[in-house]
Amino acid sequence: MKHNIILTKRDKSAKGTVHLTGSKSECNRALIIEALSNGKVKVENISDAADAVLLAGILRSDKQLAVSGNDNSASENTVSEINIGPAGTAMRFLTAYFTLQDEEVILTGSARMKQRPIGILVDALREIGAQIDYVENEGFPPIHIKGGLVQESNKVSVKGDISSQYITALLLIAPRLPLGLELHIEGELTSKPYVEMTLAMLQSVGIQHSWEDNVIAIANQEFAETSIHVEPDWSAASYWYAIAALADEAELFLPGLTQYSLQGDSVITEIMANFGITSQFKDGGVYLQKEPKPVIRKIFDMKECPDLAQTVIVVCAALGHEATFTGLETLKIKETDRIAALQNELAKIGVKLIEKGQVYKLDCSEKSIPNRIFVNTYHDHRMAMAFAPLALIVPEIEFEDADVVEKSYPAFWKDLKKVGFTTEVKS
């Protein structure tokens, strides 16, 4: 049963310590690496985000099935259906993963997942020999994968301006491909830090690569016996930076976060410096502090950190800062059309997000703060969490389907209570 939450904050200060869950981005990559390593790599600090828990469960079940199926008692024609719900990362990573497994599966998901394109990845996998068919609509899940890929080529081309998860899915399976992989990126690469994260994590488990110009090459090679420790989630940290930005006073400590993170969303420290938020790394974490500062920066390019876009746009809107945003191309194919969702919800405080080609500008000329707003979440965890900091400005906010945060940050509402927010559950 879905629950709404009414969020309030009596004062405009935010002080306390918040322990964040493990990074969903790191964890999902680490889990695939662990599964492909045949037991050589172990994952520590697995995220409790719903997406990561789901992926871990699917991979665990698959390994158990593989072991129990060694006696050949199972029918050769058995096709397993795996429902990944709304987990987009799992859909993309598992699409590549199952091409290497000696089994047949149908990967399906939620109604929204069936609207999210997968064709670019499927085409790339087919180029190297994968057998994948569409069950319903061409280019979209569900998909039927016949595993046991017989590699026909090691060269594949992928456009750079698509989701980095397509590229990551290919890179993760590359060491297990008999001929390795030579991946050619066409045009400018979107979300480059996520690709760099993938390569750094592979390197940490002994997988070498080369990256020259627009070509990433990974040879067939063995994983080292080691472990991957998943860092706390910088995407989750971004909401605390937003809270600090909208508070009059802020002193927050986020343990476990490091200054030199693999996560591209750690750039939130630089973005929020524009709003007077200082980040001091010590005592095994980061201290956030608010210092009065006029916001001068007018243009924010979110190309390399699209998951921060909603957070930063809402902060600017709340402050009446008429900023311009670029690099939002992938937002329309996320859990929801995030551009349309932002436009709908920002209108509730009188702010417009105007789209002109690939440039988006905030118009705050008619901004007005009502006593109460109702925020639709569109089955999107980041819509809920990006708008939560507004409770420092709007006296009362009701969030539709508050449990949606479980996708990446299950303890979000509880953590808000630790620093003085009040939550009331409404059935």
Residues 13 and 67 occupy one common structural domain: no
- Whether 102 is catalytic is no
Q: Is the pLDDT of residue 348 over 50?
A: yes
Tokens representing 426 are: 């409404």
| Best CA proximity match to 326, nearest among 352, 365, 361 | 361
Same domain flag for 110 and 183: yes
Residues 415 and 328 in one domain: yes
- Whether residues 213 and 238 share a domain: the answer is no
Domain count, the chain: 2
Question: How far, CA to CA in Å, does 83 sit from each of 25, 114, 143?
Answer: 20, 11, 11
pLDDT tens-digit readout, 180-204: 999 999 998 988 999 999 999 999 9
Q: Render pLDDT for 396-414 as a digit per residue (tens, 0 to 9).
A: 999 999 999 999 999 999 9
**275 and 293 Cβ atoms separated by less than 8 Å:** yes
Q: Of 229, 257, 276, which residue sits at a domain end? A: 229
- pLDDT tens figures, 204-242: 999 999 999 999 999 999 999 999 999 999 999 999 999
Which tokens is 362 given?
């905030």
Report the alpha-carbon distance of residue 183 to residue 357 in Å, rounded.
Answer: 30
Q: 7-25 burial by CB neighbour count: b if 16+ within 10 A, else e?
A: bebeeebbeeebebbbbbb
Q: How far apart are CA 298 and CA 83, in angstroms?
A: 43
Give yes or no for a cis peptide into 370 (omega within 30° of 0): no
Phi/psi at 237 (5° precision) = -60, -30
Nearest to 80 by CA among 60, 58, 96: 58
Task: Judge if 337 and 219 occupy the same domain.
Answer: no
Least reliable range by pLDDT among 154-168, 232-246, 307-321: 154-168
Q: Are residues 421 and 403 in the same domain?
A: yes
Cβ atoms of residues 406 and 379 within 8 Å:
no
Reported as a single tens digit per residue, the pLDDT across 261-299 is 999 999 999 999 999 999 999 999 999 999 988 999 999
Query: What stretches of 147-233 show up as alpha helix (H) in DSSP?
Result: 164-173, 192-204
Amino acid found at 205: V
What DSSP line would sit under 210-241, residue for residue?
A: EEETTEEEE-S-PPPSEEEEPPB-HHHHHHHH
Same domain, 276 and 240: yes
**Same domain, yes or no, for 16 and 72?**
no
Mean pLDDT, rounded, for 102-126? 95
Whether 183 contacts 156, CB under 8 Å: yes
Q: Find how far residue 161's CA is from the centre of its chain.
A: 17
Of 181, 200, 229, the position where a domain reaches its end is 229
Instruction: Please check whether residues 99 and 224 belong to one and the same domain.
Output: yes
Give residue 332's pLDDT band: very low, low, confident or very high (50, 70, 90). confident
Judgement on whether residues 177 and 261 belong to the same structural domain of the protein: no
Nearest to 238 by CA among 192, 306, 293: 306
324-326 and 359-363 strand pairing: antiparallel
pLDDT at 77 (0 to 100): 63
Q: Pick the closest to residue 24 from 218, 264, 300 (CA basis).
A: 264
Catalytic residue among 51, 62, 233, 307: 307
- Which of 229, 262, 277 delimits the end of a domain? 229
Q: Of 121-125, 131-135, 192-196, which gets the smallest average pLDDT?
A: 192-196
423/8 Cα distance (integer angstroms): 7
> Domain limits at 78?
24-229
49 shares a domain with 8:
no
Model confidence at 65, pLDDT cuts 50, 70, 90, reads low
Length reported for the chain? 427
What's the sign of the alpha-carbon dihedral 296, 291, 249, 17?
positive
Question: Does one domain contain both 176 and 249?
Answer: no
pLDDT band, very low/low/confident/very high, at 66 (cuts 50, 70, 90): low
CATH number of the domain that residue 329 is part of: 3.65.10.10
